[in-house]
Amino acid sequence: MEPLTWTGSFGSIIDPVFQLVGLLFIVAVAAQFIGAYVFAPINDEVHVDGTITRDRGANAIIGTAVRSLLLALCALAAIYIVAGVFAPIGKVGIIGAVAKQFAPVWIALVATFLLSISYKRRLGLYGKLFDSTVGMIGYALLMFWVYTALFVGVFDMIAVNDPLTQLSGMKNKLPGTPLRSVEEGQYAYYLLGGDNLARDVFSRMVHGSVVVILIAPLATLFAFMVGITLGLPAGYLGGKLDTFLSFLANLVLAFPVILLFYLLVTPEIVATGIPNYMAMILFVFPIIFFAVLLNSRFYTRPHLRNPLLAGVMLVMIWTYLCAISAEGTVINILPPTLDLFDIDSGILVVFVSVVFVNSPTVFRIVRGLVLDIHTRDYVAAAQTRGEGKWYIMLWEMLPNARGPLIVDFCLRIGYTTILLGTLGFFGLGLESESPNWGNTINDGRKLLAIYPHPALVPALSLLSLVLGLNLLADGLREESLRD
């Protein structure tokens, strides 16, 4: 079989057009940059009847040109994707074939956007996100990877080969190389080439997304639980508690992160069970958080509080015990019949380290926000009607600190993603053959000069996901400040 080219036979018609439009776009952007200095600025004139005329200077024309060229570029890119999805494999080359594999993701994305945009006025802050172009781009990038992880992890779609299988003769092969011998039901190509152990780069990339999308938000969520549960009393009660907790936070922040990771994953340290004990402590915080949250709100209504609290606590404590207890580790308290799941020890170490280094920062943000909100009259009003401390912290203050916290949450998932990549890159935590992006980048690094594709593909994936999260955070921040 012939190896696939990037755009296949379809590309021979459309590629030149794409290149021409791209070139024009670059020229137009340059012209816009220079024009801003040379020509007169654009003026809007408002008339008495409420209409606005924008004058037609040189800058206005260049601006229109840039916009329409950008639109044309996007349209052309969309044509590649649509053609790829519908044409047979090979007609639109590698791009087409990859687009075809991602078909469920496209459908899910389009559906999400159509639904969200049509109901955006009723969706609060989430709806306002669709008023900001930057936010929409960020959200699209994020959801692309979320849907990819979902379809790969749950439905086993998208990926074409097993991420761990090595096929003979595919070592370091370029993108689009066909398999030597295609068996029944096997995909005929390594779409994005093979790595130095002859594994499918494309499949490893999409499988890697599952690890990131699973761990990053969850670890960030846990870091927030720890940070909020400690930051609220530190800010609100102050005094010795605040001094002590802030000092602790500074201590953790002052320790070099990478060194900390190296220490945590050293086999000797793992053998002592320190990561398990840390998990034991860190995983308690969500339980404390929800117990206090519900109790402070509903203690005046025991009939509602008692069953509610009992139910929630039962589920949470059981989950907690399942999570910390695993056979073969220092903590093995739950009998195997009750232990529903075990967390892989490598993932546990990564998880614990990420939560551990992120929570002091969250702690400080929450503490600062609480110090600010502390002076509001509604807090004083709650105090004068004799509310408990935790009710004031969790129900009066926390909801009003949500804006900055949501933005920080998005940014922090980005940091966590990078942190996971870094950990993988240093081979910390997860097994070396795991398809996560950090590991694959490290694997590909060795032959980067000769075969860049095994490292480039996961690197670009990591970039796009973190970029998406940062843009989303920007969009959210901007939209939450408006109106």
Q: Tell me how many residues contact other proteins (CB under 8 A).
A: 25
Cβ partners under 8 Å of residue 361, min gap 6: 227, 253, 412
- Give the residue, chosen from 2, 50, 156, 337, that forms a contact with other proteins under the rule CB under 8 A: 50
Which residues from 205-224 bind other proteins, rule CB under 8 A? none
CB atoms within 10 A of CB 334: 17
Q: Return the number of the residue (239 or 328) whose C-beta is nearest other proteins.
A: 239
Q: Is 259 in the site for other proteins (CB under 8 A)?
A: no
What is the helix, strand, coil percentage profile of the chain, to 5?
Answer: 70, 0, 25
Cβ partners under 8 Å of residue 170, min gap 6: 177, 179, 180, 190, 194, 198, 199, 200
CA nearest neighbour of 224 among 10, 404, 482: 404
Q: Is 377 in the site for other proteins (CB under 8 A)?
A: yes
CB of 218 to other proteins, least distance (A): 25
Q: Is 345 in the site for other proteins (CB under 8 A)?
A: no
- Give the residue, chosen from 301, 302, 310, 460, that forms a contact with other proteins under the rule CB under 8 A: 301
CA distance 91 to 208: 28
Answer yes or no: are the C-beta atoms of 98 and 202 closer than 8 Å. yes
- Give the residue, chosen from 48, 254, 259, 450, that forms a contact with other proteins under the rule CB under 8 A: 48
Binding mask 112-131 for other proteins (x = CB under 8 A): -------------------x
Q: Candidates 274-282, 373-381, 451-459, 466-474: pick the segment binding other proteins (CB under 8 A).
A: 373-381
Torsion, Cα 232 236 240 245, to 10 degrees, reads 20
CA distance 28 to 35: 10
CA distance 227 to 241: 14
Report, in angstroms and rounded to the nearest whole number, the Rg of the chain calculated over CA atoms.
Answer: 27
CB atoms within 10 A of CB 186: 11
How many residues make up the chain in this entry?
Answer: 483
Q: What angle do CA 365, 371, 376 make, to 5 degrees?
A: 130
Q: Return the number of the residue (102 or 130) whose C-beta is nearest other proteins.
A: 130
CA distance 451 to 174: 8
CA distance 443 to 111: 37
- Give the residue, chosen from 54, 402, 445, 446, that forms a contact with other proteins under the rule CB under 8 A: 402
Q: Candidates 75-83, 93-101, 264-272, 375-383: pick the segment binding other proteins (CB under 8 A).
A: 375-383
CA distance 152 to 413: 20
CA distance 122 to 232: 31
CB of 201 to other proteins, least distance (A): 44
Q: Return the number of the residue (47 or 122) whose C-beta is nearest other proteins.
A: 47
CB of 125 to other proteins, least distance (A): 12
CB of 35 to other proteins, least distance (A): 18
CB of 71 to other proteins, least distance (A): 21
Answer yes or no: are the C-beta atoms of 105 and 147 closer than 8 Å. yes
CB of 300 to other proteins, least distance (A): 5
Answer yes or no: are the C-beta atoms of 27 and 21 closer than 8 Å. no
Q: Candidates 46-54, 60-68, 310-318, 319-327: pick the segment binding other proteins (CB under 8 A).
A: 46-54
Q: Return the number of the residue (9 or 383) whose C-beta is nearest other proteins.
A: 383
Q: Is 54 in the site for other proteins (CB under 8 A)?
A: no
Which residues from 381-400 bind other proteins, rule CB under 8 A? 381, 383-387, 395-396, 399-400
- Give the residue, chosen from 154, 156, 183, 300, that forms a contact with other proteins under the rule CB under 8 A: 300
Q: Candidates 78-86, 210-218, 221-229, 380-388: pick the segment binding other proteins (CB under 8 A).
A: 380-388
- Give the residue, chosen from 241, 315, 380, 448, that forms a contact with other proteins under the rule CB under 8 A: 380
Binding mask 444-483 for other proteins (x = CB under 8 A): --------------------------------------xx
Which residues contact other proteins (rule: CB under 8 A)? Answer: 44, 46-48, 50, 131, 300-301, 376-378, 380-381, 383-387, 395-396, 399-400, 402, 482-483
